Amino acid sequence: MADTGLFNAVYNPDVLSCLANLSNDEVFTPPDVVNKMLDMLPQELFRNPDTTFLDPACKTGVFLREIAKRLIAGLEPQIPDLQERIDHVFKKQLFGIAITELTSLLSLRGVYCSKYPQSEFSVSRFDDADGNIRFRRIQHKWKDGKCVYCGASQSQYERGEELEPQAYEGIHTLKPEEILKMKFDVIISNPPYQMSDGGGMGTSAMPIYNKFVEQAKKLKPRYISMIIPSRWVSGGKGLDEFRDNMLQDTRLREIHDYIEASDCFPGVQIKGGVCYFLWSNEHKGMCKVTTHRGNEIGKTVVRPLLENGCETFIRYNEAIDILRKIQNFGEESFENIVSVRRPFGLDSNYDSKHTYGKNIFLYRNGSTTNIASDEIQRNPEWVDVYKVFISKAGSGSDSFPHQILGVPFVGKPGTAATETYLLIGPFENEKYGNNVCQYISTKFFRFLVLLKKSTQNAPKGVYFFVPMQDFTKPWTDEELYAKYGLTDDEIAFIESMIKPMNLGGTTDAD
């Protein structure tokens, strides 16, 4: 007799868990994450034979497959015959729109156990080759070199018939309700995140996940659940309107925020992390927010997405009380003494056009040089004063604790910098500049920057929550913690998030 224990001992992973680790471009969703998203929904939906579900961005069919499992179990009392129940679930309740021809085949195989839904091998036999998972090859609509629907670059995505154009049907229409001509109770998905827009050196990209969320809202379902990059909470290219609408939408009922994307998608790095949410058309009120960091799940807090007088979503529940204590002091924001990009109007690798009169010392990307005074294009009055320079790109680490910002340094009179740096100041003497650098080096300072900083970039706006101090003296973390009355738990949380900073010209490794 065969040893049945051997089968149970053999490593037998879910194939969709394996696929979930393959790509950074179109991130496949692990089944366990799908089920966490399904757990947010009212479970009576899976006991109702009339509930309809749509995945508008099918990749492997994992959402539909996991929903099918719940429906098949939940409908057993009402439809006792298994095959009749399976046919009802797959034909009347589950629908998908695949994003590419390849993902349509993966989805058909993952959902129906056959890429031919009309064949005898399909778990539910359909009359056509699509089943309820639709794929239509469509084209971008170009105007001025970009797609009018998704912003994709014409130079990169205008392709022949032999190549996939990546024109996703769900967002390439003004009337998404015309695609399937149906009303859905639940729209759930992990949509594609971005498309190259042809900017920069070809690495610039336009986010598109927001367009899937917006199209889903147009379909007026009861519930929407999607997993998307968390960068939306602080805006970004093409995201400002989306961010504002989401943060003011009282129908957002629950958010699970992963500070590091790899904790949700093993092996995948997405700057700023990822989150999944539940939007309910019937919900009007505060949102249940849970932060995930490493193997830890932070405390869950039901709170408004925007604090009073704050235009930014605070990702860390533990930070809310800290920020409130600081804001009660009513101090001016440190942001007010931070310059915008290109404080002197010079590109990152600017080189002098002169052969003489180069009396200004210029800090630039990874090096220094000298330029003439008439090459300063903006704010010439800042050249001959004391100021502080800090990189506009922060620490590149994706794990905590990390440094958040680059190491600041004092710029003496006769110095300038390219767009690699932001300028802080100006100050009347070097002592003030040194004390500002000391303040920046505190964990307190950089923790408050973290609350606004969702990517490696650290522009002027990330300093909004940092309060001004008296810079006639240096500041330590201990003094700042005491000044604002932080508790031991609050201090421990800050310390767990931020690495020490060495102002001696070297930094701890990220």
Phi and psi of 49, rounded to 5°?
-70, -5
Q: Within the chain, what is the greatest distance between any pair of CA atoms?
A: 93
Question: Cα 325 to the chain's mean position, in Å?
Answer: 28
d(CA 179, CA 93): 16
Query: For the segment 216-246, what is each residue's pLDDT rounded down to a tens digit?
Result: 999 999 999 999 999 888 767 788 899 999 9
d(CA 308, CA 291): 21
Residue 117 corresponds to which amino acid?
A: P
d(CA 475, CA 435): 7
CB atoms within 10 A of CB 356: 7
The answer to whether 321 and 299 are in contact (CB under 8 A) is no
Helix (H), strand (E), coil (C) string for 195-222: EECCCCCCCCEEECHHHHHHHHHHCCCC
Query: For the segment 42-79, what is each residue's pLDDT rounded down to a tens digit?
Result: 999 999 999 999 999 999 999 999 999 999 999 999 99
Q: Residues with Cβ < 8 Å from 80, sequence gap 6 or more?
A: none
Question: Cα 321 to the chain's mean position, in Å?
Answer: 24
Q: What is the pLDDT of residue 199?
A: 62
Looking at the DSSP bridge assignments, the partners of residue 275 are: 228, 257
Which residue stretches of 58-98 are H helix? 62-74, 82-88
Q: What is the pLDDT of residue 7?
A: 38
d(CA 376, CA 386): 17
The DSSP code for 491 is: H
* Closest among 246, 226, 191, 223 to 33, alpha carbons compared: 226
Question: Cα 257 to the chain's mean position, in Å?
Answer: 9
Q: What is the pLDDT of residue 14?
A: 60
Q: What is the pLDDT of residue 1?
A: 40
List C-alpha distances in Å: 29 to 19, 22, 90, 265, 300: 8, 10, 21, 7, 23
Please, how many CA atoms are within 13 Å of residue 270, restricted to the half-sphere of its CB?
28
The matching CATH number, chosen from 3.40.50.720, 3.30.310.160, 3.30.390.10, 3.40.50.150, for 23-317 is 3.40.50.150
Query: For the segment 331-340, what is each residue's pLDDT rounded down to a tens digit?
Result: 999 999 999 9
The answer to whether 190 and 227 are in contact (CB under 8 A) is yes
The pair of three-digit structure tokens given for residue 482, joined into one six-digit string: 């005491």
pTM beyond 0.75, yes or no:
yes
Looking at the DSSP bridge assignments, the partners of residue 211 are: none
Beta-strand ranges (E) seen in 59-202 are 94-98, 133-134, 142-143, 146-147, 186-189, 194-196
Sole residue written with tokens 């606004």: 452
d(CA 451, CA 235): 13
Q: What is the pLDDT of residue 448?
A: 96
The three-class DSSP label of residue 10 is coil
d(CA 58, CA 108): 10
The parts of the chain modelled with pLDDT lower than 50 are: 1-11, 21-24, 506-510
